[in-house]
Amino acid sequence: MVKLDTIISLAKRRGFVFQSSEIYGGLNGFWDYGPLGVELLNNIKQSWWKEMTYRDNIVGVDASIIMHPKTWVASGHVAQFSDPMIDNKTSKARYRADNLIEEFIQKLKNKNKTELAAEIEEKLEHAQVNEDYYNIILNYGITCPVSGSTDWTEVRNFNLMFKTFVGPVEDESGTVFLRPESAQGIFVNFKNVMDSSRMKPPFGIAQIGKAFRNEINTKNFLFRTREFEQMEMQFFIKPGAEKEWFEYWKEQRWNWYLSMGMKESSLKWKVHEKLAHYANYAVDIEFEFPFGFGEIEGIHSRTDFDLTSHTNHSGKKMEYVDTVNQDRYIPYVVETSGGVSRSFMAFLCNAYDEEKILENGKEDTRVVMRFNPKLAPITLAVFPLVNKDGMPEYAHQIYKDMQKFFRVQYDTSGAIGRRYRRQDEVGTPFCVTVDGQSLEDHTVTIRNRDSMLQDRISVSKIREYIQEKMY
């Protein structure tokens, strides 16, 4: 299993991900995507968008990030979107109470104190109110990792939504939130979309967009950040059909990850025992990150909670009227909610490989990112074998021609073996090399990243060759 530090260092070195505002020391929980990162990110989003909306019954929206504040009252986020938080009075450090306990349990396990760990784990499992977390922390003498003291405040709720103000006056009346999920932008547009696009249940609305959560503990690179992107789809159905559609979307979403090259052995289901206030079935797809399994996507049967709540808070009916069968109902919803940035990190970890190879009779290790070609940031690299005898000009022309169809890179520097390696390390699936023979018979070699095998093909067939292997 690749180490997280290896992924972070490759991501920075090759321009996938940088710390946000790094020159000022970075900002915890925020990251920037570099030239290769943005390509991978866009490819993930584009593949998801095609998969979800290039079908009969799903359309897209792109709603604003800042929405009417009543949205978040109706959705339950104002009242319930909080984490239990505890402060240490000596160090002034703030922790999520449940995380603090989990870390303590892990330490006990590392010291083989399994009985005590199991006892606390059981208590944590049944903790429901803040006082339960507080009692565990106090009774087991859990200390602050910074100060080592047990001088704790009470456990309080900390709402995760970022607040800001609309208009020139910074008071309660202008207070708005950065959306903590993109889903509500879909719910409030349910009637608009249904009426304007003449959709009727079962149908879905998809959206990709940023979401913001003021997470207390950001950790593990892109896994838990304060600004991230989601790719969500709400599927509106007749009440009673939710189990059938839930199973359908579970299968569809699992298969999408496989079709994008995820190893099935790195994925698993997690069935929710404790359901969110709105859900009647919920599962997560988890990926095995270097730090263990973590959620990358949730599939939730949300009942009619959201549409009913928006009806009550807005006074606008969010129902479907079937004039043919004289039927009217508030649709139930099955949601698929994936994190773009989290799956970006999963795709990076999934692709990473180190392979022993023999080069010029010497054993060496090559780092190769085995991205599915549809996701790879660069599809094709073009090289002249040597920088003379007309080869650079010929190769550059191929590069310009192929740029109309693919993301292509042109590289002339260093020995050819080094150039292949540089492309392997960022997952480029195809490399074309122009050599002396190319100028005579208009053929080139095309090297496949995974097998390292080369085919000799006609220049006029490069596009066809790549497209055949990609789709």
- For ligand GAP, the closer CB: 183 or 395: 183
Interface with ligand GAP includes 306 (CB under 6 A)?
no
Interface with ligand GAP includes 230 (CB under 6 A)?
yes
Q: Which residues contact 321 (CB under 8 A, 6 or more apart)?
A: 327, 328
Among 88, 225, 309, 445, which residue sits at the site for ligand GAP (rule: CB under 6 A)? 225
- For ligand GAP, the closer CB: 51 or 297: 297
Residue nearest to ligand GAP (CB): 339
- What are the structure tokens assigned to 171, written together? 């008071």
List, as one string, the DSSP characters of 89-137.
Answer: TTT--EEEHHHHHHHHHHHHHHTT-HHHHHHHHHHHHH--SHHHHHHHH
**At which residue do the structure tokens 């540089």 appear?**
422
CA–CA distance, 343 with 324 (Å, rounded to integer): 43
CB of 298 to ligand GAP, least distance (A): 4
- For ligand GAP, the closer CB: 99 or 448: 99
Pairing of strands 175-177, 203-212: unpaired
Exposure string for 174-191, b = 16+ CB within 10 A, e = fewer: eebbbbbbbbbbbbbbbb
Burial bucket for residue 124 (CB in 10 Å: 0-12, 13-18, 19+): middle
Interface with ligand GAP includes 339 (CB under 6 A)?
yes
Q: Which stretch binds ligand GAP (CB under 6 A): 145-153, 201-209, 225-233, 363-371?
A: 225-233
Interface with ligand GAP includes 213 (CB under 6 A)?
yes
**Hey, how many other C-beta atoms are within 10 angstroms of the C-beta on 35?**
11
CB of 383 to ligand GAP, least distance (A): 38
Interface with ligand GAP includes 304 (CB under 6 A)?
no
CB of 295 to ligand GAP, least distance (A): 5
Q: Which stretch binds ligand GAP (CB under 6 A): 191-199, 239-247, 336-344, 453-461?
A: 336-344
Among 51, 83, 98, 181, which residue sits at the site for ligand GAP (rule: CB under 6 A)? 181
Cβ pair 278, 181 in contact under 8 A: no
- For ligand GAP, the closer CB: 41 or 446: 41
- For ligand GAP, the closer CB: 342 or 447: 342
Interface with ligand GAP includes 183 (CB under 6 A)?
yes
Among 201, 338, 427, 429, which residue sits at the site for ligand GAP (rule: CB under 6 A)? 338
Instruction: Name the amino acid, one letter, at 258.
Output: L
Q: Which residues contact 425 (CB under 8 A, 6 or more apart)?
A: 10, 14, 367, 368, 369
In the DSSP assignment, the letter for residue 394 is: H
In the DSSP assignment, the letter for residue 417 is: H
- For ligand GAP, the closer CB: 103 or 215: 215
Q: Which stretch binds ligand GAP (CB under 6 A): 128-136, 334-342, 436-444, 461-469?
A: 334-342
- For ligand GAP, the closer CB: 209 or 373: 209
In the DSSP assignment, the letter for residue 330 is: P
CA–CA distance, 36 with 15 (Å, rounded to integer): 6
CB of 108 to ligand GAP, least distance (A): 27
The H-or-E segment that residue 287 falls in is strand 281-289
Among 87, 102, 103, 215, which residue sits at the site for ligand GAP (rule: CB under 6 A)? 215
Q: Which stretch binds ligand GAP (CB under 6 A): 11-19, 54-62, 220-228, 363-371?
A: 220-228
Site track 425-464 with ligand GAP (rule: CB under 6 A), x = hit: ----------------------------------------
C-alpha angle with apex 417: 414 to 422, nearest 5 degrees?
75
Among 75, 337, 379, 433, which residue sits at the site for ligand GAP (rule: CB under 6 A)? 337
CA–CA distance, 274 with 282 (Å, rounded to integer): 9
Q: Which residues contact 69 (CB under 8 A, 6 or more apart)?
A: 175, 176, 177
**Does residue 202 have a cis bond before it (omega within 30 degrees)?**
yes
Residues 232-271 that bind ligand GAP (CB under 6 A): 232
Instruction: Name the amino acid, one letter, at 217.
Output: N
Interface with ligand GAP includes 372 (CB under 6 A)?
no
CB of 328 to ligand GAP, least distance (A): 26
Interface with ligand GAP includes 342 (CB under 6 A)?
yes
Interface with ligand GAP includes 83 (CB under 6 A)?
no
CB of 347 to ligand GAP, least distance (A): 12
Interface with ligand GAP includes 209 (CB under 6 A)?
no
C-alpha angle with apex 134: 132 to 137, nearest 5 degrees?
110
Cβ pair 81, 161 in contact under 8 A: yes
Q: Which stretch binds ligand GAP (CB under 6 A): 110-118, 330-338, 379-387, 412-420?
A: 330-338
Residues 283-302 that bind ligand GAP (CB under 6 A): 295-298
Per CB under 6 A, residues contacting ligand GAP are 181, 183, 213, 215, 224-225, 228, 230, 232, 295-298, 335, 337-339, 341-342
